[in-house]
Structures are given as C-alpha cells and as structure tokens.
Structure 1
C-alpha cells in the first residue's frame, strides 16, 4: 500500500508539469510536443511544489465527480429507477465531468501566466475582434 500512495503522489507531481505543457502547446505557437514539455519544466522550475499542491487540490475536488461518473456508467440492472432517471444521472455526471476538466484547464492557464510573469517574461494579451480592455477607472462626464 505505501508504494501505491507514493506512486499516486509522484503522478500528481508529474501531472502538474504535463498539464502545464498541454496549456503551453495550445498557447504558444512554437512549443508543441517535447518542446512544450521542456518549456513547461523551465517555467515550473521553482514552483514545482505550488504546481503539485494545485494539482492535489484539483484532484481532491474532482475525484467525487469521477466516482459519480463511474457509478452511473456501471449501474446495476436491478435498479428500481426508470430509464429516464438513469439517463438523467448519467447526463449530469457527464456534464460535471466535462466542467471539471474545463476548470482544470482554466486554472492551469492562469498558472501558466503566473509562471511566465515570475520568470520575468512579458505577458502579451491578444484580444480578439470586438474585444477591448476594461477601463481601470470609471469616467463619468456630466
């Protein structure tokens, strides 16, 4: 049992770097594959414990959703619930699962920008068509 716990902790430690590499491969044009992993290791240097704790907290929050998805996907045939209720439980579990994966991606995107700023790199925000930065002060003219 202690070996399994250590393996789980090691996985969470690596998963922070891998998830950051996935974010890097999406956000940076020239970093994909092994370049993304190398860039991830460079950015997360000095923040590995923070990345591990972030992944640990996210995993603790998401595990109940994984359990709900597993239980609803492998439901028993002797349930007294009707087919509509069974479908509703599976649908809710699937939506929660997808939202949790999206939330992890958003959190690691913010972590990427924080790592980039701590390395002293300039963070450039590209705005799409029709978007503008919000003003810092409210300017009202009478």
Structure 2
C-alpha cells in the first residue's frame, strides 16, 4: 500500500507527528542500518558519560574543600584540581568531537532518507552515500554556525539571568521564561537550517536566512514541535539518571543504559523525520512547489499557462 503525504491544507501538530511516523514505514529497509548506527552512537556516548561522571563530582568536592577556610587542607589539593581539570577537558573534547561527527552523519543520512520517502523518490544505499558525500561539508558548516550561535546565546542569557537574579529573583524567573521561549524558537530555525543545507543548494548563512523566511507564519507550530522534542529528550536522559541511581547492580545499570540508548536513537531519528515534514509544510505554506527529491524556489501562483 502506497503512503501519500500530499495535502493542500496546513497540517496541525498531531498530523505532522503522524506523518513523521509514516515516514518510518515508507523509508523501508534503508532506515534499518541508520537506526543501528544511531543505537551504536548513543551507546558509545552513554558509556562516555558514565565513565566521565566521577571526574566532575570529585572535582566539585575538591573545590569545596579549597574554598573552605581551614588549616587542614591536603598539601597537594591544588595540583590535584589542575590534573582533574586537564583530564575532564581531554575527555570532554573527545566526547564533543565524537558527538558532533556522529550526529552530523546521522542527520545527513536520515534527512536524505526521509526527504526521499516524503517526495516519493527512489533512493538506493549507493545513492544515499553519494548525497552524503556531496553535501557533508555544507551541512557541517551550517551546523557549526548553529552550534556557535547556541553557545553564544546560552552564555549571554545565563549571564543576564544571573545578573538580574542578584537584584530581583521574580524578574530573573520572568526573564528565564522568555529566554526559554526564545531558545525554542531559535532552535527551530537552526534545525530547519540543517534540513535546508542537506536537501537544498544553499548552506551556512544562506540556510539560516532561508530558515527565517520559511518560519514566517509557522512559528507557533515550530516552537510547539521543538518543545515536544526537547521535553522528550530531557525525559530520556532523566530516566537514565534515575535508573542508574536506583540500580546498584552493574548488570542492571548496563541493561538500563542499553534500553535508554535504543530509545534515544529512535527518538533522534523521529526528530529528524518531524523536522523534515515540518520543512516541507513550511514550503507549502509559502506556496513553494516540490518536484521529486529536489525543491524549486518558485511560487506556484506565479506559474501561468
């Protein structure tokens, strides 16, 4: 039975979520190796997090001892703190690099797969690898722009909220609420730019600018979708933390980590499917035509016969 995604009226949040599920069915066997790679990536990341977790906890204890006014400090406390900082920086750098590269590859492969499924385009494994090889640099640069923007805004907003909290706690809560909404909106645009850089010819600043245009008139749907995706992501990591704290047996902790890794991998792919559907929905809301697996930046109403 063929699955169709053509609709003339704008889709609501439930319809977008349902169509994203249908993309999994339509993607077929091409999605299975991507899912397995996603599970492997999540498992490696969770093992990294689990191995690095004792370092910041030990570092916090040592810093608290250093800040206390006592004459009974260990003589080698400061060098130990420096060594912990070096170890944590080295581990964190490896984790960040692996997370960025694996996320980039999985994003490229899943977006191309879901875009082909959405537009009824035949895509073979060799064709998928060819598309990844053709667009990896442009998508990587676009993702780096988004990462730098996210880090910069996070630092500025944290400084602003902390400064306001010194004067008035209610105002800091009010500011934090608006900053959260702003982050959800900007995150929607950044994730949209990743889809744009993958399936279109524009990238970098051009993809970020095009995402702004496509989000016009679609802000509420986009923010709602991003809020749902982020909330579920936080719930997955929260479940892992609770499970690790409750399960004292290492075997149970391992099984808990495996289950959460599978759920996290599936949710990452589903998130890509959601933003792929939302991207095409935004195009249709602006009257832009979709032809095959590529997109043509022409308004339908401007074509006359």
- TM-score, normalised with respect to structure 1: 0.75
Moved more, 59-68 or 86-95: 59-68
Quick check: 1:59 aligned with 2:242? Answer: no
Equivalent residue for 1:68? 239
Structure 2: tracts of 5 or more residues without a match: 1-172, 295-305
Quick check: 1:111 aligned with 2:278? Answer: yes
Moved more, 56-65 or 11-20: 56-65
Equivalent residue for 1:132? none
The answer on whether the counterparts of 1:116 and 1:122 sit within 8 Å (CA) in structure 2 is: yes
Equivalent residue for 2:188? 16
Choose which of 206, 209, 215 in structure 2 pairs with 1:38: 209
The answer on whether the counterparts of 1:17 and 1:41 sit within 8 Å (CA) in structure 2 is: yes
Superposed CA RMSD in Å reads 2.1
Quick check: 1:98 aligned with 2:258? Answer: no
2: distance between equivalents of 1:9 and 1:87?
36
1: distance between equivalents of 2:268 and 2:228?
14
Q: Secondary structure at the match of 2:288?
A: coil
Structure 1: tracts of 5 or more residues without a match: 128-142
Runs (4+) of structure 1 exceeding 4 A deviation are none
The structure with more helix, counted as a fraction of residues:
2
Q: Bigger radius of gyration, 1 or 2?
A: 2
The answer on whether the counterparts of 1:43 and 1:115 sit within 8 Å (CA) in structure 2 is: yes
